[in-house]
Amino acid sequence: MSRRTWSGRQISKALPKKGFRKSQGDHHWYYLYVNGEKTNIRTKISHGNKDYTGDLWSCLRKQLKLSNDDLDNMLACHIGHDRYVEILVENNHI
């Protein structure tokens, strides 16, 4: 399955819909919240509109604990917050 290319802005827009909250500060850190509690799942999104390919994509995928296809589907809104949390629980990440 070929995945689409995602920019930092697109990812920054998608993450809050999945339960992530942006932290205050100089960097764009996003932390996943489940039932109002902050989890250990986090990612840093680059400033600007840089495309996430290669190493950037791999780093994002690892931080969010997803396969390439699942990350692509999550950003495309095919995987919602509840299913994302189920995936994390199934794989003992939270």
Say which CATH number the domain at 60 has. Answer: 3.30.920
The model carries a pTM of: 0.88
Output the DSSP codes for the chain: -PPPPEEHHHHHHHGGGGTEEEPSSSSEEEEEEETTEEEEEEEEE-SSS-EE-HHHHHHHHHHHT--HHHHHHHHTTSS-HHHHHHHHHHTT--
Per residue in 45-66, pLDDT (tens digit) is 877 778 898 899 999 999 999 9
For the cut 70, the answer to whether the pLDDT of residue 8 exceeds it is yes
Q: What pLDDT band is residue 1 in, cutting at 50, 70 and 90? A: very low
| Residue 73 within a domain | yes
| Residue 1 within a domain | no
Q: Indicate the number of domains in the chain.
A: 1
- The whole domain housing 65 covers 6-90
For the segment 5-22, the average pLDDT, to the nearest whole number, is: 93
For the cut 60, the answer to whether the pLDDT of residue 2 exceeds it is no
